[in-house]
Structures are given as structure tokens and as C-alpha cells.
Amino acid sequence: MPQTERLYYTNCYLKEFSARIVRSEPDPRGARVYLDRTGFYPESGGQPSDYGELAGNPLLEVVDEGEEIAHVIAEDPPFKPIHGSIDWGRRFDHMQQHTGQHILSAAFERTAGYKTVSFHLGSETATIDLESERVGVQQIETAEDLANQVVFENRPVQISFRPAAEVNQLELRKPTFREGDVRLVEIEEFDLSACGGTHVNRTGGVGMISVRKVDRARGFTRVEFLCGGRALRHARQDFATLSEAARLFSTGLENVPELIAKQSRELREAGKGLQNLTEDLAGLEAAQMVQAAGKNSGRVVQCLLESTESAKAKLLAHAVSKHGGVGLIGVKGTPTALFFAQPPGGKYNMADVLKQTLAKFGGRGGGARDFAQAGGLPEDQLKVALEFAESLL
């Protein structure tokens, strides 16, 4: 089986190339084309594949099949020398992120001894998983500072090929078990890794490395980061968001966090006050409703509330039961709701009443003997459903 020459191994900055078709096979999407050489990078090692055009056809997929690389396009091209053009914006973005990952991973290992166990390059962000769940803020910032210092120094990034027997004698950041000639990516006096991905030729091309998010899980810490153009775009978005917040607060950017914290405290306090008022109001209304219902009706209170009073509905049902009545409360809106309550140890089974009501009118819910609730009934059936529930008592 012929071997595809991988042009990106030696020239990551290649934007166009010509090649000869070795063979073509049918594919559900069109044709699966094999070339004697290619500049297209196939998905591998956590890095997505390139996009672009081959023989004027948009590239649908690039697949690494070991010795060969398959190119999936919509039309089977004629067997003659063909031209390939790489989506340079996507390629260079991946080069920035992947080289940035090498730098950041090496920085974590140098500053705190944390090894990278996996790498993923997504369409919006990239992540590395560190082998510890105890990575702290200071350690993250220290590694981020060192990584950017290496970027600012614009160190050379060199690609070379060495026999596997020799590579195993070198101080690689991560051991490799590949056979034959191994592709090495070296950042001058900072990192040496076996890698088949695409990279910038100097660290300055990474632009900037920005840690955006940290998630800790059992056994590892996931660090989300951005490099180069991605870091610039998100910094611009952050500035726009912060500027709008400052405008709304009529203050400077530096005062936004303090004002948000203050307003959050005030909202919590106001929410507690509103909850207390709602409970008091529900109690007063419940007492009046139970008294109006009278003993002759079994003190059953049936009430249908508007959606604007939804926060009061459950409180009202409980308040009715506290005043010795049976509360059958419905709430209009999307979704609708039902709340059935009786005094503790009452003679009815609210869960059973609700179950029969739902069986007739639809909706979903459940509960216990003294309290049950449901939602999802048709709004135009709520009044009839409440009347039916009362008929069961």
C-alpha cells in the first residue's frame, strides 16, 4: 500500500499544493480520494482536521488511515494532477492553539510538576487535563505567566525527525511509544515533545495564552484556555460586556464587581422580604376563605389564580390547611399548576384525589396524603378539574 507524503509535517505554513491521485473509492458523500501527497491535516492527537478545497470541491473530511490519508469530497475528480487549497484561517488558528498547548503544558510541569494527561482542541476553546485535582489559583497564574513569557520571547519552534531508539534517550515531556522515525517539536530550551500536529515556527506566533476556566474533578483538573486570535476576540467581548455593565451602573469598569455584589445582596434581602409578605398575605386570605367556606361545605376552599400569583399558590394551599380547611388551588399560565392540601392527618388522601384528577384531565404530578401537586393540565380545563377534585371529597 502506498504511503501518503504528509507535507504539513515539514511545512505547516503551506497554503496550497499540487498532488497526483493514487486511487479513488466510492463514499456515501461522494468520493474518497487518496493522493501521493497532501497538505491537509487529518483529525489526530486532539487536533481537528483542516478544511479547504480539493480539485475545486469543498473538503468534507480528512481521515488518517495509518499509511494513507483519505480525502472525502462530493465529486470524484479526474485522474490528473489536482490542486488543493487549505483554509488558512482555520489552519493558523489550530497552529496557535496547539503550540500554545505545548507551552502551557510545559509551564505547568516546570512550575508545579503537573503533567498533562489529555488535550482537546474545540471550535471555540481548547482544554488540557492536568493529573491533579488540587491545582490552585496561584499555580495557574504562575504557569500562565511563564507560558506568556515564553511567547513574548519569540523562541524558535523547530521540527525534526529522529529514530525511535534515539528519541527514547531524549528528555521528552511525555514518553512516546511510536516506532520508526518520530516527529519532534522543540521549543527552544523549554519543551521537547513527540507530536504530529501543526505548529507556528516561533512562539510569538501564538499571540497570547489566556486561561479562561478551571474545572476540578476526581483525579484531574481541566484547564480551558485560548490563544492568539481567540484570546483577542474573547478579550474584546469581555471588554464590551464589562463596559455595558459599567454603563448600566453609571460607574467605572473597576467598580462593576463591587456594585454587582451590593445589588445582589439587596435583591436577596428584598426577595426575603417579599417572601415574608407573600406568606402573610396567603395566611390572611386563607383565614378569610376558610371562614367563608364554613363547616357545611367541609371547609373546602377551591381557588383559581392568575399566572401573576403563582408564587402565592403553594403558600395559599398550605395556609388553608393550617386554618383547618382543605385547599384546592389552581394556577393559570405556562405551565399550569395544581396544589391540593389538607390539615395533617385529615380524612382525605390528597395524592389519590390528585391522581384521579390527572387521569381525567391530563398533567403530571404526585405527592403524599396531606399534600400533592401537579402541572401541565390544559389551562381551559383547570376550573373543571378543580370542581371534579372537590366532588371527590
CA 182, 188, 190, 196 dihedral sign is negative
Distance, CA of 392 to CA of 371 (rounded, Å): 15
50 has a pLDDT exceeding 90 = yes
Nearest one of 136, 142, 48 to 97, comparing CA atoms:
48
* Residue 185 domain-assigned (yes or no): yes
Counted domains in the chain:
3
- Average pLDDT (180-185) is 93
pLDDT value of position 353: 94
Please give the mean pLDDT across all residues of the chain. 93
pTM of structure: 0.76
121 has a pLDDT exceeding 90 = yes
Render pLDDT for 60-96 as a digit per residue (tens, 0 to 9).
999 999 999 999 999 988 878 999 999 999 999 999 9
* Residue 253 domain-assigned (yes or no): no
- Determine the 3-state secondary structure of 252 from DSSP: coil
- Average pLDDT (34-53) is 95
Distance, CA of 289 to CA of 323 (rounded, Å): 10
Residue type, position 139, single letter: Q
295 has a pLDDT exceeding 80 = no
Residue 225 and residue 332 in one domain:
no
**Looking at 67, 86, 105, which one is the last position of a domain?**
86
Q: Which residue has the cell 468520493?
A: 31
- CATH code for the domain in which residue 29 is found: 2.40.30.130
Residue 112 and residue 208 in one domain:
yes
- CATH code for the domain in which residue 294 is found: 3.10.310.40
Length of the chain: 393
Render pLDDT for 244-254 as a digit per residue (tens, 0 to 9).
999 999 999 99
- Average pLDDT (17-39) is 95
- CB-based contacts of 261, cutoff 8 Å, min separation 6: none
Residue 50 and residue 28 in one domain:
yes
Give the bridge partners for 231, in sequence order: none
* Residue 58 domain-assigned (yes or no): yes
* Residue 299 domain-assigned (yes or no): yes
Q: Which residue has the cell 527514547?
A: 168
pLDDT value of position 296: 62
Residue 9 and residue 27 in one domain:
yes
**Looking at 71, 86, 101, which one is the last position of a domain?**
86
Question: Strands, DSSP E only, in 52-130?
Answer: 52-54, 57-58, 61-64, 69-73, 82-86, 116-121, 126-130
As a whole-number percent, the residues of the chain with pLDDT over 90 amount to 81
- CATH code for the domain in which residue 136 is found: 3.30.980.10
pLDDT value of position 274: 86
**Looking at 37, 57, 86, which one is the last position of a domain?**
86
- CB-based contacts of 68, cutoff 8 Å, min separation 6: 1, 2, 3, 4, 22, 34
Nearest one of 118, 46, 94 to 227, comparing CA atoms:
94
The angle formed by the CA atoms of residues 168, 173 and 176, to the nearest 5 degrees, is: 40
Distance, CA of 338 to CA of 363 (rounded, Å): 10
388 has a pLDDT exceeding 90 = yes
Residue 26 and residue 43 in one domain:
yes
pLDDT value of position 297: 67
- Average pLDDT (278-293) is 88
* Residue 64 domain-assigned (yes or no): yes
123 has a pLDDT exceeding 90 = yes
Going by pLDDT thresholds of 50, 70 and 90, the confidence category of residue 271 is confident
* Residue 369 domain-assigned (yes or no): yes
Residue 95 and residue 241 in one domain:
yes
Q: Which residue has the cell 404530578?
A: 365
Give the bridge partners for 202, in sequence order: 156
165 has a pLDDT exceeding 90 = no
- CB-based contacts of 257, cutoff 8 Å, min separation 6: none
Residue 29 and residue 129 in one domain:
no
Distance, CA of 179 to CA of 21 (rounded, Å): 28
292 has a pLDDT exceeding 90 = no
Domain that holds residue 12: 5-86
- Average pLDDT (158-163) is 95
* Residue 78 domain-assigned (yes or no): yes
Residue 21 and residue 128 in one domain:
no
Render pLDDT for 300-357 as a digit per residue (tens, 0 to 9).
999 999 999 888 999 999 999 999 999 999 999 989 999 999 999 999 999 999 999 9
Residue 234 and residue 101 in one domain:
yes
Going by pLDDT thresholds of 50, 70 and 90, the confidence category of residue 1 is low
Residue 95 and residue 236 in one domain:
yes
pLDDT value of position 79: 78
Residue 240 and residue 160 in one domain:
yes
* Residue 67 domain-assigned (yes or no): yes
- Average pLDDT (15-40) is 95
Residue 279 and residue 208 in one domain:
no
